[in-house]
Amino acid sequence: MGGHKNQDFAPPTKCMDPPKTRLYKVWKGRNKFLCGGRLIFGPDGASVFLSTFLIGAPALTFCVKMLLRIPKLDFVYGHVVLIVGFVLTFLDLIFLFMTSARNPGIVPRNSRPPDSDSTSTSMTSMEWINSATPELKLPKTKDVFVNGYTVRVKYCDTCMLYRPPRASHCSICNNCVQRFDHHCPWVGQCIGVRNYRTFILFVSTSTILCVYVFTFSLLNLLREPCHIWTAMSRDIVSVILIVYCFISVWFVGGLTVFHLYLICTNQTTYENFRYRYDKRENPYNQGIIKNLKEIFFSKTVPSLVNFREWVIEEDDSFIESVTRKFGGDIIKTNGKIDLELGILGKDGKPLPHVLQNLDYNGIDDSLKKDKGGKVNLDPYFFPTDQEEKFGAGDSTVNDDVTDVSSHRTSTDALRR
C-alpha cells in the first residue's frame, strides 16, 4: 500500500476540477484491497492466515519428517514421497490465495435507481420497492428469459439494480456477486463466477493432501520392525498427523464430493439450499460433460469492475444525515434530490456544499420569530397537524379583519 500512495490521487488538470481517486478507495462494499486495488479480499480476509496455518503446519511437519527419514528408507521412495508432499502443499496454498485474493465477480453498483419506463414492460410483481425517491416506483421482481426458460430476478435496494440471473447480494461483503455460490469463511471471500474454479481446486487438493499425509504417516508406522503400539509410542508425530488428517478429510472430502455433484448438475450452493430445482427443470443444466467443461475448461469471466480506474469522490454526508433524521423519507423541496449528488436546484445543478451541510438541529428548540414576536411558519419544520392548526388561526384573524373593514365601510356610507 505504501508504494502506491503517490499514485492513488491524480492531480487536477484544471483549477476548478475536483481531485480524482482510485475506485477501490471509495468502493462502498466491505472489501479489503492490497497492492493498489489489484488484490481484493473479503472483510474477513484475515482468516486466510488461519487456513494457511491449518494446512501448512501439518503438511510441512510431514515433509520435514520424511526428509529426516530418507537415510533409513529407499533413496527413490523417500525422495518421491517428499517431493510429492511438498508439491501438494504448495499447490494447495496457491489455490487458497488465488481464491481469496481474486474478484469473485462483483456486479458494479448504480449511482441512481433505473428508470421506471425501462422496467414497466417486464414487470411481474405488483409490490413496489421502498425507493429513496417517492416519485419513482419499481417492481421488486421482473422476469427474464434464460435458455428458453423464464427466470425471475430481484431488485437490490443496496446496489440499485436488478440482479443478473444467478447473482445474489452477499450481506458480509455488501456486494452483488455473479453466480453467487456462498461466502466461505475459510478463504474470507465470496465464491462466485470468477473464483469458483480455484475454490474447487483448493478443496479437492486439500482432500488429496489429507489422504496423502494420512497414508504415508501410517506406512511409516507399519514399516517399523517392532509392534505397532511400540512404534506409535516412539513416533508421536506420525500419530498426531494420522488423527489430524483423519478428522480433516471428512470435512474437506465431504465438501469436495458435494461440489462435484453441484458441478455435474450445474447448481450453486445457494440454489441447492433453497431447493429451487426440485419441482422444475434447471435452465442451466447442459449435461454432465458440458457442465464440467464450463467450470474447468472455459475462460475466466472478465471482471465487470475496474477498481483501479480514476473516479471523482462524491460527498454523501448530507443524504445520510437526512436519512437518519427523517427515517428514510426525503423532504420534498422545489429542487430534486439525487442519491449521489445531493440536493439539485431547479437548473439541475448540485447546490453548494455550504448550503447542503447546514445544521438545523436548533430549529426544533427555538422557533424562528419575526420582529412582532409572532411565529414565522415554515412548512419544512412543522408537522402537518400543527401547520393546519396555525393555518386555521390565520384564516380566523383574516375573517375578523374583513368584518371590521366591512363595518367601517357601511358606517361611512350612513354618515354621508
How far is the C-alpha of 243 from the C-alpha of 253, rounded, in Å? 15
Q: Does residue 167 share a domain with residue 208?
A: no
Q: What is the mean pLDDT of residues 305-334?
A: 55
Q: Which residue has the higher pLDDT, 191 or 402?
A: 191
Identify the band that residue 321 occupies on the pLDDT scale cut at 50, 70 and 90.
very low
| Cα separation values, 373 from 15, 303, 367, 370, 379, Å | 47, 64, 11, 6, 19
Does the pLDDT at position 121 exceed 80?
A: no
Spell out the long-range contacts of 119-123 with Cβ–Cβ below 8 A and sequence spacing 24 or more. 119/162
Q: Which of 296-305, 309-318, 364-373 has the lowest mean pLDDT?
A: 364-373
The amino acid sitting at 154 is K
Among 243, 265, 296, identify where a domain stops: 296
Q: What is the mean pLDDT of residues 59-85?
A: 92
Res 334: pLDDT: 41
Does the pLDDT at position 212 exceed 70?
A: yes
Query: 175 with 169: CB under 8 angstroms?
Result: yes
Res 205: pLDDT: 98
- Residue whose entry in the numeric block shows the C-alpha cell 475496474: 306
Does the pLDDT at position 232 exceed 60?
A: yes
Among 154, 177, 200, identify where a domain stops: 177
How many domains does the chain fold into? 3
How far is the C-alpha of 162 from the C-alpha of 144, rounded, in Å? 11
Q: Does residue 268 share a domain with residue 143?
A: no
| Cα separation values, 366 from 98, 376, 378, Å | 60, 11, 13
Q: Where would I find the H helices in 113-157?
A: 116-119
Q: Does residue 241 share a domain with residue 142?
A: no
Catalytic residue among 156, 176, 184, 190: 184
Q: What is the mean pLDDT of residues 383-410?
A: 43
Res 147: pLDDT: 85
Res 278: pLDDT: 72
In a domain, 57, yes or no: yes
Q: What is the pLDDT of residues 322-372, one digit of tens each?
A: 333 333 333 333 444 343 344 445 454 555 544 455 554 444 444 444 445
- Residue whose entry in the numeric block shows the C-alpha cell 475454490: 199
Does the pLDDT at position 294 exceed 50?
A: yes
- Phi then psi dihedrals of residue 315, to 5 deg: -95, 115
**What DSSP string describes 135-179?**
T---BSEEEEEETTEEEEEEEETTTTEEPPTT-EEETTTTEEETT
The amino acid sitting at 310 is W
Does the pLDDT at position 188 exceed 50?
A: yes
Identify the band that residue 34 occupies on the pLDDT scale cut at 50, 70 and 90.
very high
Does the pLDDT at position 316 exceed 60?
A: no
At how many degrees (to 10) do helices 196-222 and 47-69 cross? Answer: 30
Q: What is the mean pLDDT of residues 18-30?
A: 90
In a domain, 390, yes or no: no
Res 414: pLDDT: 40
Res 113: pLDDT: 83
Q: Does residue 149 share a domain with residue 83?
A: no
Res 10: pLDDT: 58
Identify the band that residue 275 occupies on the pLDDT scale cut at 50, 70 and 90.
low
Res 214: pLDDT: 97
Q: Does residue 148 share a domain with residue 33?
A: no
In a domain, 416, yes or no: no
Q: Does residue 152 share a domain with residue 80?
A: no
Q: Which of 135-144, 221-230, 381-390 has the lowest mean pLDDT?
A: 381-390
Query: 51 with 89: CB under 8 angstroms?
Result: no
Q: Which of 11-20, 157-166, 289-298, 309-318 has the lowest mean pLDDT?
A: 11-20
- Is 170 considered catalytic here? no
Q: Does residue 55 share a domain with residue 204?
A: yes
Q: Which residue has the higher pLDDT, 3 or 222?
A: 222
Identify the band that residue 135 occupies on the pLDDT scale cut at 50, 70 and 90.
low
Res 14: pLDDT: 52
Q: Does residue 325 share a domain with residue 280?
A: no
Type and span of the H or E element at 385: helix 384-415
Q: What is the mean pLDDT of residues 257-268?
A: 96
Query: 7 with 36: CB under 8 angstroms?
Result: yes
Q: Does residue 225 share a domain with residue 166?
A: no
Q: Which of 23-37, 138-152, 332-346, 383-397 has the highest mean pLDDT?
A: 23-37
Q: Does residue 95 share a domain with residue 196?
A: yes
In a domain, 307, yes or no: no
Q: Which residue has the higher pLDDT, 121 or 278?
A: 278
Q: Does residue 168 share a domain with residue 147?
A: yes
Range of the domain at 164: 116-177
In a domain, 310, yes or no: no
In a domain, 371, yes or no: no
How far is the C-alpha of 272 from the C-alpha of 266, rounded, in Å? 10
Does the pLDDT at position 105 exceed 70?
A: yes
Res 73: pLDDT: 86
In a domain, 14, yes or no: yes
In a domain, 124, yes or no: yes
Alpha-carbon torsion (167, 170, 173, 179), positive or negative: negative
Q: Does residue 240 share a domain with residue 336?
A: no
Res 382: pLDDT: 43
Q: Which residue has the higher pLDDT, 406 or 180?
A: 180
Q: Is the pTM of this model over 0.85?
A: no
Does the pLDDT at position 115 exceed 90?
A: no
Res 149: pLDDT: 87
Q: Which residue has the higher pLDDT, 416 or 13?
A: 13
Q: What is the pLDDT of residues 241-255, one digit of tens each?
A: 999 999 999 999 999
How far is the C-alpha of 403 from the C-alpha of 339, rounded, in Å? 51
Res 130: pLDDT: 55
Res 267: pLDDT: 95
